[in-house]
Amino acid sequence: MTTKDFFTVMNERTSTRAYNPEKAISKEELSELLLAAGKAPSAWNLQHWKFLVFQDKDIQEKLYPIAYNQQQIRDASAVIAVLGDLEAQKNVDEVFGPLVVQGFMTKEAKDKLAANVAGAYSNSQYAREAAVCNASLAAMQFMLAAKAKGWDTCPIGGYNAAQFIETFQIPSRYIPVMLITIGEASVPGHPSARMKLDQIAEWM
């Protein structure tokens, strides 16, 4: 178990693009990291994410040209595709039903919440923005959890989304948000330049 505090983990995390191709990660450890990612916050707690795990060199080879032949796809211990849920309103019963049964929420409150969610999801633009935004929260949580366990990662936005959808038969309910490589860095990471606080924040 890691003894590093959060800020140490955050400051040590860098985007790794060169991995040791001989380093394996177990399904059990990946499962632990994905469960941690799934604890990320989300609008109405609808958990707008789905993860596709590429943990086999043959399937990673299939993904390789779709990600524009980036070597990290081949060499990483695994690749996680983060998808956003365009129909997250369908999760209302699964998320809030147990709360009603356990007495933490009344049925009337759940029905009112469901109506509010349905109203928001009648707007397709909102559904798309919510899918990307909330799935990205889970993606960041995955990368921080991975670093806390000693793994290196890199988020990838450079890939052919249309080809990805076609090749891996992604249902229309989901939208690809990013790929994340995970493994052991073969080249040490280095600090990246960051803008000053007064460039990124403004007190109102």
Tell me, yes or no, whether 192 lies in a domain: yes
Find out whether 90 and 41 touch, Cβ atoms under 8 Å: no
Confidence at residue 149, expressed as pLDDT on a 0 to 100 scale? 95
Tell me, yes or no, whether 37 lies in a domain: yes
The CATH number assigned to the domain holding 158 equals 3.40.109.10
The tens digit of pLDDT for each residue in 166-175 reads 999 999 999 9
Number of domains the chain contains: 1
| Nearest by Cα to 116 from 188, 20, 44 | 44
Confidence at residue 4, expressed as pLDDT on a 0 to 100 scale? 79
Tell me, yes or no, whether 111 lies in a domain: no
Find out whether 173 and 135 touch, Cβ atoms under 8 Å: no
Residue the block writes with tokens 């990612």: 37
185 contacts: CB under 8 Å, gap ≥ 6: 16, 18, 19, 20, 152
pLDDT greater than 90 at residue 1: no
Strands 78-85 and 152-156: unpaired
pLDDT greater than 80 at residue 191: no
**Which residue range(s) make up the domain with 42?**
6-85+135-200
Tell me, yes or no, whether 170 lies in a domain: yes
Confidence at residue 60, expressed as pLDDT on a 0 to 100 scale? 98
Strands 174-183 and 78-85: antiparallel
Confidence at residue 3, expressed as pLDDT on a 0 to 100 scale? 61
Q: Round the average pLDDT of the chain to a whole number and report it.
A: 96
pLDDT, average across residues 105-110: 97
Q: How many whole angstroms separate alpha carbon 73 and alpha carbon 79?
A: 7
The tens digit of pLDDT for each residue in 35-47 reads 999 999 999 999 9
Q: How many whole angstroms separate alpha carbon 181 and alpha carbon 23?
A: 13
Q: pLDDT over 70 for what percent of the chain?
A: 99
Rounded to two decimals, the pTM is 0.95
More reliable by pLDDT, 80 or 190: 80
Tell me, yes or no, whether 102 lies in a domain: no
Tell me, yes or no, whether 112 lies in a domain: no
Tell me, yes or no, whether 166 lies in a domain: yes
Q: pLDDT over 90 for what percent of the chain?
A: 93
The tens digit of pLDDT for each residue in 11-70 reads 999 999 999 999 999 999 999 999 999 999 999 999 999 999 999 999 999 999 999 999
Tell me, yes or no, whether 10 lies in a domain: yes
Confidence at residue 2, expressed as pLDDT on a 0 to 100 scale? 52
Q: How many whole angstroms separate alpha carbon 158 and alpha carbon 41?
A: 26
